[in-house]
Amino acid sequence: DVKVTQSSRYLVKRTGEKVFLECVQDMDHENMFWYRQDPGLGLRLIYFSYDVKMKEKGDIPEGYSVSREKKERFSLILESASTNQTSMYLCASSLTDRAGNTIYFGEGSWLTVV
Amino acid sequence: AQTVTQSQPEMSVQEAETVTLSCTYDTSENNYYLFWYKQPPSRQMILVIRQEAYKQQNATENRFSVNFQKAAKSFSLKISDSQLGDTAMYFCAFMKQGYSTLTFGKGTMLLVSP
């Protein structure tokens, strides 16, 4: 089975702190994604990466950056956390060997910024 | 840009009954993929069913089936013989041909009661 692991399930950070959310997948997937989930808004794509060191902005990249130094690891960075970034963050991954591949999700990281 | 609309924020059904969740989407593409994902209270998002737009036959996975109406841009999910474990948030999602990212609807919370 595909395993997408988000190392921190619950975090509480202060406004202005730098926050790192880490994600690791164990299936050699080329694509990795960060989504943000908010009630009534569904999931919105922040960033995705289709290869090591490659990244593309999603729908809501403002206030976030990402890093992909190794194929299995994709980090989401909040340079200066703000209260409006309190949310659930979902990491995901997929293969690129064929079109329409299933995207597999991690369990999510609950971030509260106070 | 693609949009996905789930018009039912919440639905409830009794065990063993059948329920249908609605999803419509807007796109100018001819080839694409549609997905239903389930997110139980444990928060792990899992794939329920997928449909390729070029296939006229509706996808089926055990108790889950879809009614795909391409001309109407409609993609509803039918759950037969509902079980308590089907209680979850259900998301409809769209993937453009040649792309790897998903566009999600806002979700429908399904409650299955005894």
Cβ count within 10 A of residue A103: 25
For residue range B28-40, list pLDDT tens digits in order.
998 999 999 999 9
Say yes or no to pLDDT of A45 above 90: yes
Chain B: closest CA distance from residue A111 (Å): 14
Provide the pLDDT for residue A95.
87
Residue range B3-113 in CATH 2.60.40.10: yes
Q: Which residues contact A92 (CB under 8 A, 6 or more apart)?
A: A4, A32, A33, A34, A35, A103, A104, A105, A106, B45
Domains defined along chain A, listed by start: 4-107 (2.60.40.10)
Provide the pLDDT for residue A86.
98
Q: Write out the DSSP string of B25-63.
A: EE-S-SSEEEEEEEE-TT---EEEEEEETT--SPPEETT
Provide the pLDDT for residue A63.
96
CB contact under 8 A, A100 and B43: no
Phi, psi of A84 (to 5 degrees): -75, 0
CB contact under 8 A, B46 and A96: no
The region, left, alpha or beta by phi > 0 then psi within -120 to 50, assigned to residue A102 is beta
**Number of CB pairs, chain A paired with chain B, less than 8 A apart:** 54
Rounded percentage of chain B residues whose pLDDT exceeds 90: 84
Chain B: closest CA distance from residue A88 (Å): 10
Provide the pLDDT for residue A2.
66
For residue range B68-97, list pLDDT tens digits in order.
999 999 999 999 999 999 999 999 999 988
